[in-house]
Chain A
Amino acid sequence: MSRRVSVFRKEHFNAAHRLFNPLWSDEKNKAVFGLCSNEHFHGHNYELIVKVTGPIDPETGYVIDLKKLSDIIKATILDRFDHKNLNLDTKEFAQLNPTAENIAVVIYDLLHSQLGESYELHIRLYETERNFVEYPVQLP
């Protein structure tokens, strides 16, 4: 049986967003989300690291062709989110608060639907150099 290996592809996109719960008053949004709830938006350079784990294909020596993975990320994620306002320009966050947590889960679901069950997928998303999230949770 071929040994399983993780391969990684790093991509980035720039987007505007605001954190806002429409069920709350402006005051409560401000109290909970602070500057991040600014009604005129702010933005980030998001760094995305996609990890794909699987067996090495004996014919190619690849877990997955990283060029193909890059093309899938570009078509599925970057074309959708890069230079966009996540709240206003994307259907994924029309009703969902675009926190780093929710963005990572959405990215996972979008990529998972493209890659299928044969690969184990993991997402790390940097909102800033110092704030990042991972999904799914990896058990020790």
Chain B
Amino acid sequence: MVYVTRLEHFNAAHKLFNPEWTREKNEDVFGACANENWHGHNYELLVTIKGEPDPETGFVYDVKKLSSIIKEKVISQLDHKNLNIEVPFMQGKLCSTENLVIGIWQQLLPHLPKEVLLHCIRLYETPRIYVEYFG
């Protein structure tokens, strides 16, 4: 079994805000991240698939094709967007990196060919903060 990872990136605005709470409680829990006028990040997205190398190509899967699927199904929905108000699959969810990585997994999985096993999605919000999801 070999693990293959493709790195993509996108830039987006968001805020951490729970509409069930008062502004004071949001600021207390989320601090500067609750700023009502948004802030933003350069997100780095690492998608790892796994499988045996195909004897004819030597590939687990053509990473150029993997990149095209990620760009078409995920990056195009997120890049230069406001995650809270412009991304259909994040509607009604808190825009934490944790929830975002689960959303990206669910968005990507149905579009991968059956022979491609999705292993892990790692999402960097900053160079020092990242989350991982294994499905």
Q: How far is the CA of A3 from the CA of B41 in the complex (A)?
A: 40
By the criterion CB–CB under 8 Å, are A16 and B81 in contact? no
Closest residue on chain B to residue A12 by CB atoms: B126
- Residues from chain B with a CB closer than 8 A to the CB of A40 are 13, 81-82, 85-86
A40-B13, A43-B14, A45-B127 known; A83-B39 Cβ under 8 A: yes
CA distance A15 to B99 in the complex (A): 20
Partner of B11, one of A83, A85, A88, A128: A128
1/0 contact string of A38-53 vs chain B (CB within 8 Å): 1011111100000000
Cβ contact within 8 Å between A43 and B33 = no
Which residues does chain A contribute within 8 Å of B14, judged by CB atoms? 43
Q: For residue A88, which residues in chain B have a CB less than 8 angstroms away from its CB?
A: 37
A59-B32 Cα distance, complex, nearest whole Å: 40
Interface size class of B (residues with CB under 8 A): 20 to 34
Chain A residue contacts of B82, Cβ below 8 A:
38, 40-42
Across the interface, do A16 and B37 meet the contact criterion of CB distance under 8 Å? yes
Alpha-carbon gap, A128 to B127, bound state (A): 11
Please judge, given known A-B contacts A128-B42, A129-B42, whether A42 and B12 are in contact too, CB under 8 Å. Answer: yes
Contacts of A14 in B (CB 8 A): 39-41, 126
| A5 contacts B by Cβ under 8 Å | no
- 8 A Cβ contacts from B10-33 to A: 11-14, 31-33
Task: Check A44/B80 contact, CB under 8 A, given A83-B33, A83-B35, A89-B35.
Answer: no
A12 to B42 Cα, complex, angstroms: 12
Asked whether A82 is an interface residue with its Cβ less than 8 Å from the other chain, the reply is yes
Is A112 close to B, CB under 8 A? no
Most B CB contacts (10 A, CB to CB) among A14, A43, A82 go to A43
Task: Say yes or no: is A124 at the interface (Cβ < 8 Å to chain B).
Answer: no
- Using CB atoms, name the residue of chain B closest to A88: B37
User: Which positions in A face B, CB cutoff 8 Å?
Assistant: 12, 14-17, 35-36, 38, 40-45, 82-85, 88-89, 128-129
